[in-house]
Amino acid sequence: MIHKTAVIDLKANLDSSVEVGAYSVIGPEVEISADCQIGHHVVIEGPTKMGVGCRVFPFASLGLEPQDKKFQGERSHLEIGNGNTIREYATINRGTEVGGGITKLGDQGWIMAYCHIAHDCIVGNHITMSNGATLGGHVIVKDYANIGGLSGVHQFCRIGEYSIVGGQSMITQDVVPFAMAAGNRAKLAGVNYIGLDRKGFTSDEIDIINQAFKIFFKSGLTRDVAVIKLREEFPESAHIKMFADFIQSSERGVCR
């Protein structure tokens, strides 16, 4: 159902099952797939694509211009995957030409009230951002990451798979997969044991991850030597390969 007070541009493309609440505004080049629910007073500008089964709550603003002084009106995009929940006053901006022209949010995200996803961010699947969490431009958030309330992630940082960032933290370096990090500036707080257990990791898998953390963070080895040792010690572990690859590709360094 489309509320009679909603303003929807004739060039927007909405599936017939989409619901739009009162006073929402949907601009041209917006594509919204089946079974999405757009609450009242929501603003969505294009080019923006939204997948199946998303819920957008009142006063959220999606697909507006990036908050980047270098932006000169060039064409850029926002892509939102399937099954996302985007709560009140959340903002997700389009990309910039310098950053590749696109901001992405994967599937099954839980974006709580007042969160901000800035231009050119690439956000994975099944991520949680608690109230007021903010991603600076060009941030990468990997699958199943959890970012605590009122936390800020500096531009170009990465948050690894299955990691958790504590509330009111300031992230200025990459957070490795499977980790807990917290503080201003954030420091490593160990393995995310509870999160891994909840995601179905076995005790053996968690033990291997714990061993890997000890090698990298406590052995005193240099980064490159520690990564080589990780690959030699756990050649069959996909989790440790992901961990080692993440560290090796870090440009900002990792939280310790």
Measured distance CA(146)–CA(156) in Å, rounded? 17
CB-based contact 82:108 (threshold 8 Å): yes
pLDDT tens-digit map of 87-138: 999 999 999 999 999 999 999 999 999 999 999 999 999 999 999 999 999 9
Tokens of 206: 């968690």
Query: Angle 50-246-51 (CA atoms, 0-180°, nearest 5)?
Result: 10
pTM of the model: 0.97
pLDDT score of 232: 97
Q: Which runs of consecutive H residues, i.e. helices, occur in the chain?
A: 193-198, 203-218, 223-233, 238-248
* CATH, domain range 7-138: 2.160.10.10
- Fold classification of 196-248 is Udp N-acetylglucosamine O-acyltransferase; Domain 2 (1.20.1180)
User: Rounded to an integer, what distance in angstroms lies between the CA atom of residue 84 and that of residue 216?
Assistant: 35
**Nearest Cα to Cα of residue 127 among 197, 80, 183:** 80
Q: How far apart are CA 111 and CA 141, in angstroms?
A: 13
What's the pLDDT score for residue 82? 99
Instruction: Convert the pLDDT of each residue in 146-185 to its tens digit.
Output: 999 999 999 999 999 999 999 999 999 999 999 999 999 9
The per-residue pLDDT for 256 is 96
Residues 148, 149, 152, 155, CA torsion sign: positive
Nearest to 52 by CA among 76, 26, 81: 81
CB-based contact 175:158 (threshold 8 Å): yes
Residues pairing with 54 in the sheet = none
Q: Which residues are catalytic?
A: 119-120, 137
Domain borders along the chain are 7-138, 196-248
Chain centre to alpha carbon of residue 6: 29
The string of pLDDT tens digits covering residues 22-72 is 999 999 999 999 999 999 999 999 999 999 999 999 999 999 999 999 999
